[in-house]
Amino acid sequence: MEIKVKEQSKTRVAFEIVGADHTVCNLIKSELNTTKGVTLATYSIEHPLVGIPLFIIETDTTTAPVKALTTAIAAIEARNGQVLEAYAKAF
């Protein structure tokens, strides 16, 4: 995967995630929407077969959008660790 930043300000960031699909984008979007300070987290894929996801994150003035993304990804990593532990115990 590759991330290409298209726009960045104090309260907004727009970037493409080359190589990602709806699975990854929905996971990130869902976590961002529960992250403190995030007012908008969305993405679009222009064409389902060849489109590159364009992600947009907007925040209030208390949180930088890149910081919110970092927080969301850390939460996803922690949850995935819990799933891996449960899987290891079960099998």
What's the CATH number where 63 sits?
Answer: 3.30.1360.10
Could you tell me the pLDDT band of residue 65, with boundaries at 50, 70 and 90? very high
Does 75 score more than 90 pLDDT? Answer: yes
> Mean pLDDT over residues 42-59, rounded?
93
Sheet architecture: strand order including 2-8: 2-8, 12-18, 54-59, 38-44
Stated pTM of the model: 0.90
For the chain, the domain total comes to 1
CB atoms within 10 A of CB 29: 19
pLDDT over 90 (residue 31): yes
Domain that residue 47 falls in? 2-90
At residue 48, the pLDDT reads 77
Residue 63 has pLDDT above 90, yes or no: yes
